[in-house]
Amino acid sequence: MSEPLFEPVEHPPRRGAPPWPLSLTDPARAALEFGLLVGALPLRRAVPTGDGHPVLVLPGLLAGDGSTLVLRRILRRLGYRVHGWRLGRNIGPTAEAVAGMGERLQDLHARYRAPVSVIGWSLGGIYARAMGRRRPEAIRQVITLGTPFRLADHNQTRASAAFNRFSHLHIERGRVPLELETEPLPVPSTSIYSKCDGVVAWQACLDMPSPRAENIAVIGSHFGYGHNPAVIWAVADRLAQPRAKWTPFRSPAVLRPLFPQPDTPAESPSPADSRIRLA
């Protein structure tokens, strides 16, 4: 296995949501990132292409398949069989959403007779990691985009009020920490995060590195993860990894300015427990 390009930097847990300047400018920065993606389209031939395996993309809080359309279209053009979750707007772990995601994964796994790569944006990544623990035989890898799976306090996100508005419909209450674990996921996992995220504290997105778990830092907004050029490259690179030969991310030399030195949490989490139960 090749050595990682950077040595991770340890950071202690941080209490509190992102600074207000980042939160207030997040939508505008996301729009700018979309413009950068359009400008980078002539370089799309350099993006790693796929092997045709199935990919399931899960949206973030209050979002639906429309929010992941750009990402899914790009991945489809790279050769993957990409699917949205088809469950409408994501308002949290309702009975319909939890059962629907399990059925969607099962259907795709059976249809293609191959493990499915699952990409989850923000809250969608919480689901993706839970699926990775519950159904590892059906999942090839998990990729999360700005997902605060190490959330230790509701104050670490600007989305708490929106999430709690629908909590009466949730079959799993929003207890924190969201995910307690000492063992890595049983499938390869990649957490893509940004220190410029205006919705969730980036420290809550850090995984404990292991032979099959990594963190990738990018420069971008929370609302722009689905079309940020650096995120697109990193996702395409991860999906292109051979199934049995997963190795840590290494950006091409020319793209290294887009990928800051990754971080790692300073402390290990508590005993294993995945809070959200998915069939």
Closest by CA to 116, choosing from 135, 90, 95, 144, is 135
Q: How far apart are CA 278 and CA 142, in angstroms?
A: 15
For the chain, give every domain's residue range. 26-263
In percent, the amount of the chain with pLDDT more than 70 equals 86
Rounded Cα distance, 86 and 91, in Å: 13
Name the residue with higher pLDDT: 3 or 101.
Answer: 101
- What does the pLDDT look like over 32-80, one tens digit per residue? 999 999 999 878 889 999 999 999 999 999 999 999 999 999 999 999 9
Say what the pTM is. Answer: 0.90
CATH superfamily of 26-263: Alpha/Beta hydrolase fold, catalytic domain (3.40.50.1820)
> Of 34, 38, 25, which is closest to residue 225 (Cα–Cα)?
34
Tens digit of pLDDT for each residue in 166-201? Answer: 999 999 765 655 565 557 899 999 999 999 999 999
- Quote the CA–CA distance of 75 and 48 in Å, as a whole number: 10
